[in-house]
A = this chain, B = another copy of it.
């Protein structure tokens, strides 16, 4: 448990965790409390408990450890200028977890249960929600096969956990992507469209190799033809040409990102034409801007994309479409811009 110091907010005397908020990056600083509940594989979840953050005890034969039966979610809690705390579209994470659970043969919490559990977790860790402008509290719900199994079947016990960690920016500055044409993140008939834990460690090596060459991350191509762009290791991608903003269509291999969905709605509101379509790799070489979206990266401008010996650079900075979208999205998320969409949820 980290120590805490007292700070004052509009909602009264409140403790603020004792860390240097100005240096907050994307390193792990677990918040003090977590949420836990469990149920049998044929049962429905009932309300769980907020408990002090600690290691969990799990069978060596647990489905999650032996067969990867797990889903993750990611969302953030933001502190408004007046000290109150907002969640951004948590019911969307709840819905995505339900779809993933159906695919991985697990029961899942109801949307109301999920949202209430996230609220309780954030409330218990409210002193870990960074001051305005310093970052956010990253919230990580997990749905895992925690019971022991030997055969390839759903674990007899499923656990729904939520833990949290304060974070700053994922990338420092614009990002430089490398097109990865050997490793694939997803395949039709696979799990690219659900947020399963099994989508991540298989791309570690590609990311590590790209980082060793000075790139920020990799951009994956489709596994069948290697001709179309799909997504970056943990975020969706958009391209901008004139008034048209395009992103790969959700058709089985693309994660239906909540930031992706929100940015599409914001862009349409601004009057841009938005296309969800199959995007050939070659389209990257003739666009004005490229940016990535995701809970961790928010809206991150892409400075360059390299494919083989070809490198293309894109516009970044103040006068860009991505900056305009970023400002609106984060304005809504932090309560500085009126939320006409009804996306934010106050936790107290």
Q: Which residues of A are interface residues toward B (Cβ below 8 A)?
A: 26-28, 30, 34, 53, 55-61, 63-70, 72, 103-105, 138, 140, 142, 144-145, 148-154, 161, 163, 165, 167, 170, 182-184, 186-191, 196-205, 207-208, 223-224, 233-234
Q: Say yes or no: B60 contacts A163, CB within 8 Å.
A: yes
Q: Say yes or no: B150 contacts A201, CB within 8 Å.
A: no
Q: Name 4 extra pairs, CB < 8 A, besides A26-B150, A197-B198.
A: A30-B60, A190-B202, A191-B202, A224-B224
Q: Say yes or no: B28 contacts A149, CB within 8 Å.
A: yes
- A154 in contact with B204 given A56-B58, A149-B28 (CB within 8 Å): yes
Tell me the complex Cα distance, A153–B144, Å. Answer: 20
Most chain B beta carbons < 10 A, residue from A72, A151, A187: A187
* Stoichiometry (number of copies): 2
Tell me the complex Cα distance, A108–B34, Å. Answer: 32
Q: Say yes or no: A201 contacts B198, CB within 8 Å.
A: yes
B-side contacts of A149, CB under 8 Å: 28
**Contact partner, A103, options B34, B161, B198, B205, Cβ 8 Å:** B205
Tell me the complex Cα distance, A67–B71, Å. Answer: 9
Q: Say yes or no: A68 contacts B201, CB within 8 Å.
A: yes
Q: Say yes or no: A30 contacts B223, CB within 8 Å.
A: no
CB distance from A140 to the nearest CB of B (A): 7
**Contact partner, A152, options B28, B190, B203, Cβ 8 Å:** B203
Tell me the nearest residue of chain B to A233, going by C-beta. B152
B-side contacts of A30, CB under 8 Å: 59-61, 148
B-side contacts of A145, CB under 8 Å: 201
Q: Say yes or no: B69 contacts A201, CB within 8 Å.
A: yes
Q: Say yes or no: A34 contacts B55, CB within 8 Å.
A: no
B-side contacts of A61, CB under 8 Å: 28, 30, 140, 163, 165
- A70 in contact with B68 given A148-B30, A190-B187, A205-B104 (CB within 8 Å): yes
Tell me the complex Cα distance, A203–B189, Å. Answer: 10
Tell me the complex Cα distance, A187–B202, Å. Answer: 12
Tell me the complex Cα distance, A191–B60, Å. Answer: 23
B-side contacts of A223, CB under 8 Å: 187-190, 223-224
Q: Say yes or no: B184 contacts A165, CB within 8 Å.
A: no
Q: Say yes or no: A204 contacts B105, CB within 8 Å.
A: yes
B-side contacts of A202, CB under 8 Å: 68, 104, 190-191, 196, 198
Tell me the complex Cα distance, A7–B255, Å. Answer: 57
Tell me the complex Cα distance, A148–B56, Å. Answer: 12
Tell me the complex Cα distance, A183–B252, Å. Answer: 11
Q: Say yes or no: B53 contacts A60, CB within 8 Å.
A: yes
